[in-house]
Structure formats: C-alpha cells, structure tokens
Amino acid sequence: MNSLRRAYLKRREQLRKAMFAAGPACTGADADLFTAPDVFEPEPDSVRQDREAAAKRICSTCPARSQCLAYALDIRPSEGVWAGLSVGEIRALSLWPVADHVEQEVA
C-alpha cells in the first residue's frame, strides 16, 4: 500500500472516530430510517421522502452533525441520510464528481 493510500485511510478512520466520539443521535435508532430498508424492493418516492424527513429530524438535534458531514463528504455515500442531508444534497456540496471517487460507503 502506498503512502498516499495509507494517509487517505488514516484520515478516513480519524473522521469516523471523531463522528462516533461526538455522540451521534442516530446511535440506537432504526438503521432502516437512515437507509432504504431493502435494496431488493423499490421504495416508493413518497415513502422515501417520509423516511428521509424522519431521519433528518433526528439529525437536526445531533451533536455529531458536523463530524458526520465531514465523514460523508469524505466517503461519498451512495445512499442514506448523513448529517441531515440526502445523498443528492451531499453530492451537491462535494467538490468532486462521484465518478472520480474510488470507494463509496452505504450508511
């Protein structure tokens, strides 16, 4: 593993640890609320919007929101709600196109 890759993975781990150390409000919450419940069954838009709105309400009071956003911007998730933002909203904040990113993580 080259040094650039090691530094990248170390930074990602530091961001993840900082997020969890801040005490995220989603800890203990239903994980399906923050991601689609079943990837093999399509989720109707109205159901997804309601689920994401509920997740965003939890995020709105989260003490780890800024750390979660930093982590999400780094990992570029392919789905879910992170720091009170949908994947589309996170992509809009990102400076790099999604196609340029090597690894993606799911919430």
Chain segment 54-84, per-residue pLDDT in tens: 999 999 999 999 999 999 999 999 889 999 9
Which residues does 36 contact at the CB level (< 8 Å), separation at least 6?
Answer: 43, 48, 51, 79
Report pTM: 0.81
Name the binding residues for [4Fe-4S] cluster. Answer: 26, 59, 62, 68
Which residues does the annotation place in the binding site? 26, 59, 62, 68
Calpha distance 74→88 (Å, rounded) = 15
- Distances in Å between the alpha carbon of 80 and those of 5, 24, 48? 26, 15, 10
pLDDT (tens digit per residue) in 23-61: 999 999 998 899 877 778 888 999 999 999 999 999 999
Enumerate the β-bridge partners of residue 44. none
Which residue, 86, 29, 21, 26, is CA-closest to 61?
26
Domain spans of the chain? 3-100
